[in-house]
Chain A
Amino acid sequence: MRALPTHLLASLILLASGCSGDSADEASDSGFTSKLSQRHSPIIVDHKFGAIPHGQSVEADLLIPMPEDLGPMIPLGFQRNCSCARHQFVIVAEDGRERIANERPEPRFAVREGEKLYLRLSLHTAELEAQDLEPSIVRGEVILQEEAQLARRVWVTVKFEYAVESPVLVKPSAHLDLGEIARSASYRQMFELRGRAGKTTFGQPRCLEPDPMHPDEWRISSDLKATIEHHEDHSILYVSFQPSPERPEGPMRMSIDIETDLPDDYLFRLPVSGNVISDIQLSPPGKFFFGTIDFTKPAKQFMVITDHRPNRQTEFVEHGIVDASGRDISEHFKLRIEGVPDRSNSQQLSLEYDGKLELARSRFSGTVYLARRDQPGEAIPVEILGFHKAR
């Protein structure tokens, strides 16, 4: 077994007096992570993966040195600053047999004389967006604990470096975020795809999305569409989206998969995300939220209301202001509705509170009712919410 030099060991050992054999995280509530963050130890293990072609997975076994004057050590974990790599602890016996340590402080996972401990790191770049990634340094610490009853701990710092090189260059970005899409709205975007190494053939795009109930199962999306147009040295991907009536409002995640003639059957994947919202949008969303204020003092909140239906000139009017019990509180709240420059489908709502409500509890809630001038019978409720805290 390779041993740590004594002078390094001195800086690595933390005498965890009183730790029992399975006290892997003593005093966690006082901050195990902060303990880690307050300690510095020299870099012991360093590895360079180099530039990984996007789509490929790579793996490396890093030999973790054992302190020479402590008993058998058990790997308890690998804490790192990035979740880009998965890890496993592999103990290799003299005869080459391997066993996977499950990061539990159990004797069967102690590294015995003649055995070696490896940190097996694997990086799966297909899970990342298809774009170049500059060399990134990841730091972490392997936590080892002595098997003995009064276990001592050793932290071994591990550093590894990797970069990602995408075989497809995509513009303008390797992720399409639709942002907020109103139910009546539609979205179009064009992407340029180009093979890094030269002419690349792209297949027909497939628009997919996960089943919300079975997120690992992807199905053809009914409202995300994509077509591709081939040119001499690049291709243009046209993407459009319009929410179908069946699609619920809320976040969505999709992808556009395109086969290529690149090595290893490289599949180009463009992740797509967005949020379908109602045609009547309130911003900030949902409510007039006053936060925690002193309700004995005046306060003011703003909101913008937008009607996303096409070709509409929005004009909202006040329809009433009530508290949670339905009591008219319009004498305490004044609503001003004004136009927003250059946005004919939006209006700004200013709600001014006079500071004179008598609250029975620390939470206040009420509702402003709005209506469109052209549809006065249809009330649009906007919640008022705030919490009283005397200052």
Chain B
Amino acid sequence: MRRPTSTGLAILASYCLCFLAIPSCTEGSAEAHLSKLDLGEAPGSSSATGAPQDPALQDPENTPRARLRLSGQLEGYLEPCGCASAQLGGLARRSFTNQQDRAYDLLIEGGNLGVGGSELDLFKLMTILQVLSSKESPYQALGIGPRDLELDPESLGEYLSIFDIPSIASDLRPKQGQTWPAKSQVEYELPSAKVRIASLALRAPEDAYQLLSPEEAWRSAMDGVADDCFRILLVHGSQDDARNQSKLEPRPDLIVSIGASHAEPPSTADEVDGIPLVFPGIHGRYLLDITLARVDGKSQIRRYRPIQLAGSRTAKGAMEDKNMQAVIRQHRFDVKEAALREVIAETKPRRAKSEYIGSAACAGCHPAASKAWRESKHAHAWQTLEDAESSGRYDWPVTFYPDCIACHTVGYGEVGGFVNPEKTPALLNVGCEQCHGPALDHIASQGKTLLGPVDPQTCTSCHNLEQSPDFDYASKWKLIEHGLK
């Protein structure tokens, strides 16, 4: 083989450095001085984050300031699912915005990246971490939240290590000997201020993690912090959980609530006991820009700017980072390649003791209801996926993606539920049992064993605000209306 040229090796070295362009910090004491790190700057930029220097930072008052771009509670939401229009968020839009609008010093993701511990969640985590560690706009801090801890601890630690994003879990200590790269805090030196970031999960599986009290965790994370350093606290959980941290010592300069209390950032910043309190919202629908300043020893939010991550109504895929689109697309194919459709199937207990049998078995006793169903879109729900796949509306295998399948089949994920079209053809489409529950006992007992009642909550598990924004039970029920017969 011919050896790579020295130029090639240099490029390789810088490429690897860029891909993993995240400073590592040792717990407690080490500081990552952003301004001193060679992170492979973007052309024309002058700061290590890739963000050009902001002339406004040359503040005549010499006021320390930190410009933070916040997000959190992604919950596995890689991109708008596309089954409704005008949905917000998506990692490709986020990446586009982070590169195109560089009015920040630090990118901070609060955590709760996923929603569970399945193989799919692991695949999603890998994809998300790829995006957050991209060389074009790498994140400088990642909080670890309780949803993240639902993943197998070994895998979580391993994935965080692989991508080397500075992860923070101030109140967590692993009980077992798993890989655990998360730090108690990370600290950065910005052009006009220092920033130290800590994160509280507040809840954790007891068998895998020791949970420190917020007071102990914060004290440890802030050990040795300089007086002029901004102390930033990410708090997972409810709004109350965030508010309850206002008495911590030393006093936080900013509390960021990572949770579902606010689906979108409120129009203004909040405060608790004089400490600025902000909510970045959920699912990465928005990025929240704030400029934190210290005036007369007290922290203030100078600028508060929620950035809505909306797409174009007319140009599909516009204002999205094509590289990240490709990463997400690759994820979709990886999921198919790894046969996660089948791996995820039948991993949860059935919702009732009975077994699934398929809609055809219902027709004999309930002919009118069966007719109403056959004429409804529910009876063609699988075809919708196939059409989306073959028409080019999606350029990835929708019929193999578990999140899509779950709302287009019967009992997917449950033991005895849908597995794939070949193995469980009777459970394709949103059949009777998807709403009424498994029906074998009902049929075997000739109707004596009753099926559970169906209420609107059953509908909104799929027709939720995000996937079915126009869903209105009263009017939609008319489309599938049927009785017992």
Contacts and interface: CB of A to CB of B under 8 A. Distances in A.
A275 B96 CA distance: 9
B314 A38 contact: no
B95 to A, nearest CB: 8
B57 to A, nearest CB: 10
Interface string B453-481: 00111011100111001111110000000
Interface in B2-41: 2-5, 7-9, 11-12, 15-16, 19
B312 interface: yes
Contacts of B103: 212-215
A45 to B, nearest CB: 14
A8 to B, nearest CB: 13
Interface stretch (B183-191, B237-245, B397-405): B237-245
Contacts of B259: 25, 28-29, 32
Given A37-B460, A129-B313, A137 B243 contact: no
Contacts of B15: 367, 381, 383
Given A28-B237, A273-B312, A83 B264 contact: yes
Contacts of A162: none
Nearest to A369: B4
A83 to B, nearest CB: 6
B203 interface: yes
Contacts of B368: none
A175 B16 contact: no
B381 interface: no
Interface in A75-106: 77, 79-84, 86, 88, 102-104
A298 B4 CA distance: 25
A358 interface: no
Q: Which of B16, B270, B318, B469 has the most CB of A within 10 A?
A: B318
Given A24-B261, A129-B313, A103 B329 contact: no
A33 B465 contact: yes
A32 B261 contact: yes
B146 A29 contact: yes
A26 B329 contact: no
B460 A363 contact: no
A283 interface: yes
A129 B326 contact: no
Contact of B329 (A24, A179, A275, A284): A284
B88 interface: yes
B273 interface: no
Interface stretch (A63-71, A226-234, A315-323): A315-323
A355 interface: no
Contacts of B54: 213-214
Given A33-B260, A365-B16, A387 B162 contact: yes
Contacts of A136: 470
Contact of A212 (B101, B236, B260, B322): B101
A270 B399 CA distance: 37
A22 B243 contact: yes
Interface stretch (B330-338, B347-355, B442-450): B330-338
Contacts of A387: 126, 162
Contacts of A39: 456-457, 460
A137 B470 contact: yes
Given A131-B314, A210-B101, A215-B101, A27 B8 contact: no
A321 B243 CA distance: 54
Nearest to B93: A251
Contacts of B304: none
A210 B103 CA distance: 11
Contacts of B471: 139
A190 B326 CA distance: 29
Contacts of A212: 51-52, 100-103
Interface of A: 20, 22-29, 31-34, 36-40, 42-43, 77, 79-84, 86, 88, 102-104, 128-129, 131, 133, 136-139, 159, 173-177, 179-180, 210, 212-215, 246, 248-253, 271, 273, 275, 277, 283-286, 289, 291-292, 319-322, 324, 326, 328, 330, 362-363, 365, 367, 369, 377-381, 383, 387, 391
Which 9 A-B residue pairs are closest in the complex by CB-CB distance?
Answer: A25-B261, A379-B8, A81-B469, A40-B456, A177-B318, A177-B315, A37-B464, A291-B334, A175-B315
Given A177-B318, A215-B103, 14 more contacts: A20-B240, A39-B460, A40-B456, A129-B313, A173-B315, A180-B322, A213-B102, A248-B44, A285-B322, A289-B327, A292-B122, A319-B4, A381-B4, A381-B11
30 contacts: A22-B239, A23-B238, A24-B238, A25-B238, A25-B262, A32-B261, A33-B263, A38-B460, A79-B465, A137-B470, A139-B469, A139-B470, A177-B319, A210-B101, A212-B51, A212-B100, A214-B54, A248-B44, A250-B42, A250-B136, A273-B312, A284-B326, A285-B322, A291-B331, A292-B123, A322-B4, A362-B158, A367-B12, A381-B4, A387-B162
Interface of B: 1-5, 7-9, 11-12, 15-16, 19, 42-45, 51-56, 86, 88, 95-97, 99-103, 112, 122-123, 126, 136, 145-147, 158, 162, 203, 236-240, 243, 259-264, 266-268, 270, 282, 285, 308, 310, 312-315, 317-319, 321-323, 326-327, 329-331, 334, 337-338, 455-457, 459-461, 464-466, 469-474
